């Protein structure tokens, strides 16, 4: 009925009505997404096992990353360690003591203690006792080693020309970079290969912005919230965005993020192939920070941020976070 009505109208009116209808549909769709996000994300609390576990994974990963920093700061992140303990206690009390992701959190706590012991640093006694309590809750369960991986550059890149399984298993986030410059040709060649990424109707929404000036990088990384302790060592940064203008109507509202995410993953692989050490940095911005970042990166209003890649040449040796994955079941 709506379609037929639009068709019998004179062209300018038809256009106007179509625009109004599309705008209305987009708004309705975004409200639908908003409702789903509000109801099912952890925005209003970690009130299910899944949500609490994801929160634990997030906080233990912060500690895990801290242990891999080029120069870890003794006594780092104690508040976060208390948080891990609190959430683990809640999880073990409410759910189970067998989930390997939550047990990995305990392994990270253990490694945090060992790291400070090795460096003769006396941690707050209350913190040590708290970790002891959590370990006590799972004393009859086997806990894997939480020590991060120390790897040489040669070892890290040894599979870059191997079959895909070995290649893909060998890529990890690297948060330590040497002082050497990345030849720009390697960045360009990585981007060229990543352009093979498929996209919806081949509209190729991904855009790549490379920053090489220390001053620009410092400003951008200064606003990003996940690069403390290593971002300053990056030789170049790459900002991946996606152009909204190639999409239309409500049903394509998330397509830029899907196509952009696929491009990002491909770029991570091509950079790895070219032996560049990389760490993805989130662009999970509030609207205020989005505006600031847009300004600093000189990103067009029509583009949305996908992620930032901190890139550098690999040092002779680097520490890499374990970041264990789920198996086929959780």
Ligand X SMILES: Cc1cc2nc3c(=O)[nH]c(=O)nc-3n(C[C@H](O)[C@H](O)[C@H](O)COP(=O)(O)O)c2cc1C
Q: Scanning residues 106 to 135, which ones bind ligand X (CB under 6 A)?
A: none
What is the DSSP secondary-structure string of 269-321?
HHHHHTT-EEEEEE----HHHHHHHHHHHT--TTEEEEEEEEEEPPPSEEEE-
CB-wise, 127 or 268, nearer to ligand X?
268
Count the residues of the shown chain that bind ligand X, applying the rule CB under 6 A. 14
Of residues 55-84, which lie at the interface with ligand X (CB under 6 A)?
A: 61, 65
Confirm or reject binding of residue 242 to ligand X (CB under 6 A): no
Contact present, 189 and 179 (Cβ < 8 Å): no
Residue 232 is a binding residue for ligand X (CB under 6 A): no
> With the C-alpha atoms ordered 159, 60, 177, 318, is the resulting torsion angle positive or negative?
negative
As given in the structure block, the two tokens for residue 260 are 């952009």
Q: Which whole-number Å values give the CA distances from 207 to 15, 84, 114, in the listed order?
A: 30, 37, 44
Cα 291 from Cα 294, distance rounded (Å): 5
| Interaction between residue 104 and ligand X (CB under 6 A) | no
Binding test (CB under 6 A) with ligand X, winner from 191, 239, 279, 309: 279
Q: Is 323 in the site for ligand X (CB under 6 A)?
A: yes
Q: Which of 48, 98, 180, 282 is the binder for ligand X (CB under 6 A)?
A: 282
State the minimum distance, in angstroms, from the CB of residue 85 to ligand X: 21
Please tell me the distance from the alpha carbon of residue 201 to that of residue 245, in angstroms, as a whole number: 14
Give the SS3 label for residue 175.
coil
Does position 307 interact with ligand X (CB under 6 A)? The reply is yes
Judged by CB under 6 A, the residue of 131, 280, 297, 314 near ligand X is 280
**According to CB under 6 A, which one of 170, 173, 178, 204 is a site residue for ligand X?**
173
Which residues here bind ligand X, judged by CB under 6 A?
Answer: 61, 65, 172-173, 175, 226-227, 279-282, 307, 321, 323
């Amino acid at each position: 009925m709506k379609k037929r009505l639009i068709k019998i109208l004179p062209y300018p009116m038809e256009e106007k009505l179509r625009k109004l209808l599309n705008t209305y549909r987009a708004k309705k769709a975004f409200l639908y997404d908003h409702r789903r996000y509000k109801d099912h994300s952890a925005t209003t609390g970690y009130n299910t096992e899944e949500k609490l576990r994801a929160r634990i994974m997030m906080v233990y990963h912060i500690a895990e990353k801290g242990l891999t920093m080029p120069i870890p700061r003794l006594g780092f992140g104690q508040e976060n360690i208390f948080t891990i303990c609190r959430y683990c206690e809640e999880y073990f009390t409410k759910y189970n003591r067998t989930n390997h992701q939550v047990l990995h959190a305990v392994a990270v706590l253990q490694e945090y203690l060992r790291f400070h012991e090795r460096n003769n640093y006396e941690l707050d006694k209350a913190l040590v006792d708290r970790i002891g309590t959590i370990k006590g809750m799972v004393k009859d369960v086997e806990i894997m080693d939480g020590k991060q991986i120390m790897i040489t550059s040669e070892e890290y890149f040894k599979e870059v020309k191997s079959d895909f399984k070995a290649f893909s298993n060998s890529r990890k986030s690297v948060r330590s970079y040497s002082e050497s410059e990345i030849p720009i040709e390697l960045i360009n060649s990585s981007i060229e290969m990543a352009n093979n990424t498929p996209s919806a109707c081949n509209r190729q929404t991904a855009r790549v912005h490379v920053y090489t000036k220390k001053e620009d990088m410092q400003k951008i990384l200064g606003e990003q919230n996940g690069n403390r302790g290593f971002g300053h060592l990056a030789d170049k940064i790459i900002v991946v965005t996606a152009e909204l203008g190639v999409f239309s109507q409500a049903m394509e509202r998330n397509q830029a993020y899907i196509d952009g995410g696929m491009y990002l993953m491909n770029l991570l692989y091509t950079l790895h192939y070219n032996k560049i050490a990389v760490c993805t940095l989130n662009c999970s911005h509030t609207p205020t920070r989005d505006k600031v970042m847009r300004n600093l990166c000189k990103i067009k209003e029509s583009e949305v941020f996908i992620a930032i890649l901190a890139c550098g040449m690999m040092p002779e040796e680097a520490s890499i976070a374990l970041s264990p994955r789920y198996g086929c079941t959780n």
